[in-house]
Amino acid sequence: MSGNKTLAHLMEAFAGESQANRKYLAYAKKAEEEGKLNAAKLFRAAAEAETLHALRQFEIAGKIGSTADNLKDAIAGETYEHEDMYPGFVKEAEAAGNSAAARAFTYAMKAEEVHARLFKEALENLDQKEEVFYYLCPVCGNIEKAVPEKCSICGVPGEKFIKF
């Protein structure tokens, strides 16, 4: 097998394992809602296993650079999502009359813009020693550096934010 084909396989495996992780977390959440706690635990364990696979494949593929390079890659990805990808998705969902998809895409688009800004800020302050905390909105994915009264994107109360 050629090196290029192996790299393509590593990236395909990474994508599949990454998607399986999220799918299994969604399944775990549903199982918990239904009171099926053993199934939920199995889904969470399998999700973590898929993460281990994905991280190793990404590493072997040589896709992890310096922190500065990784931040630049994150900025590019988040910028693409909020400037190019999601606007079209929102427009098509609205045209199709799917308000739930349009809202989900809009929330993601607005959150990705915040993510790009925060990654840029982190890159500019890479050698900062003072610890920074981040607060994640569990509904739309917005990230703040302080707990807001309510989410600026979806309006969820600030006390629901998750501290990192």
Give pLDDT tens digits for 77-95. Answer: 999 999 999 999 999 999 9
Quick check: 150 and 109 in contact, CB under 8 A? no
CB-hemisphere CA count at 13 Å for 146? 2
Q: What per-residue confidence (pLDDT) applies to 3?
A: 76
What are the sequence ranges of the domains in the chain? 3-60, 65-129, 133-164
pTM: 0.91
Question: Mean pLDDT over all residues of the chain?
Answer: 97
CATH architecture label of 3-60: Up-down Bundle (1.20)
- CATH number for the region 133-164 comes to 2.20.28
CATH architecture label of 65-129: Up-down Bundle (1.20)
pLDDT band at 124, cuts 50/70/90? very high
Q: Indicate whether 2 pLDDT > 80.
A: no
**DSSP state letter for 29:** H
- Average pLDDT for residues 54-83, to the nearest whole number? 98
Report, in angstroms and rounded to the nearest whole number, the Rg of the chain calculated over CA atoms.
18
Topology alike, domains 65-129 and 133-164: no
Q: What per-residue confidence (pLDDT) applies to 1?
A: 45
Q: Indicate whether 62 pLDDT > 70.
A: yes
Strands 162-163 vs 143-144: parallel, antiparallel or unpaired: unpaired
β partners of residue 157: 150
